Structure 1
């Protein structure tokens, strides 16, 4: 027997909320996410002192409560990541993408890398470690690493750079020594990214469904993000990426993602690695 829900949640409520979240984030929510929506948003109904999801929908419709959209997005976005996830991407970065960008940018002596959808920071910190290890290629250059996410909560976690020890135990000992500090006292059982690495990253909140106000990038990581979008939304986002990516630059996507029949501006050159061709 299914336990009674704390709050009344109807199909009408569900349809309203998923339409609203799609309009704001581009994420397509299937019918089978009904229970997931309830479990993730019931805490917001509770926190606001409301008595039903119908009340919550009405609350969201009030322009004076626009700040609640941030809480809605934070509750619904999935944040699953790890250091050097899909390690082949970082090998490609170190051995091909980065050397090519350095060769291409000898005149400007600058590098721009973007981690779009950075979640709790493991991806941009992994990129930063590779950039540090290969800095002999571009010593003295102007290097900027941008990390963005729509979820303000995970961005705050990323900026702090503090992780449970089990999250970093898979890293090479040399990287642990160079880039992390082991917590003591109240921080025991945790590891903190060293300031020297953390300060190389600019964390900022960006909604990928809006016009991208970023400068030209040499490399873009956007992994396990477009999988949540329908084809038309994917196409719009990939076109935006192409517009801000340097000619010959690379776009890294997730292991279950593909740009096949989405755009002709990128060519597949590696395992979920695409090169901008026009």
Structure 2
């Protein structure tokens, strides 16, 4: 097939999120051809290579949140030397809730090409399996770990009209679902997908109240993705909407952003109208 990686190019490659058979042919070739592989967990990379019966072609470096800044400098040096540099994470796409963002920014700023080998995605897999409207969605990553901060993070999303996708630790899933039920309402349609593409894959669908009961009834195991339906549009009450915009602005949000977010969850009013009214009220 010839070489697929190019010298002096930073390549990001998606790895399987569970089932090794989901590895693409391009990923196999990239692992064989790279001069330098930056891996979130080197042991997991070696296990993946063994499962795929692939011989890693170059030097392997650890590349995680605690050493990302230092490793980025090393990756740029390797690119300057014309080496084939590959970034992989434990599962899924680098950069998405995983290391790689700093390297991409630095490489692009320095003028080095950046390319991506697409592949498995926990976000899209869970969204597709959830049965919840996928036409417009937003990825929210991991919610804060502490209860107060978790609730505060969900509050601006109360009226988000798009489907929302979250990552979560299994040990915090019950608490996160409970916080979602409080903020978004217990009847909001939702789904919990765990162990995607693995032997014990499971997708639980129901209201947030039903999923809270399920999560609290037993131990949640495996890597978890939570999908929550967007808010239904509500009839516009201009005065109430204006109060929401002012409250969000008082909490530190930019007025324009607050007006846009509130208008997104309402019918019959534009973000511009709310913004102008909020400025006048101030």
Q: In which range does the TM-score fall when normalised by the shorter chain?
A: under 0.3
What TM-score results when the alignment is normalised by the length of structure 1?
A: 0.27
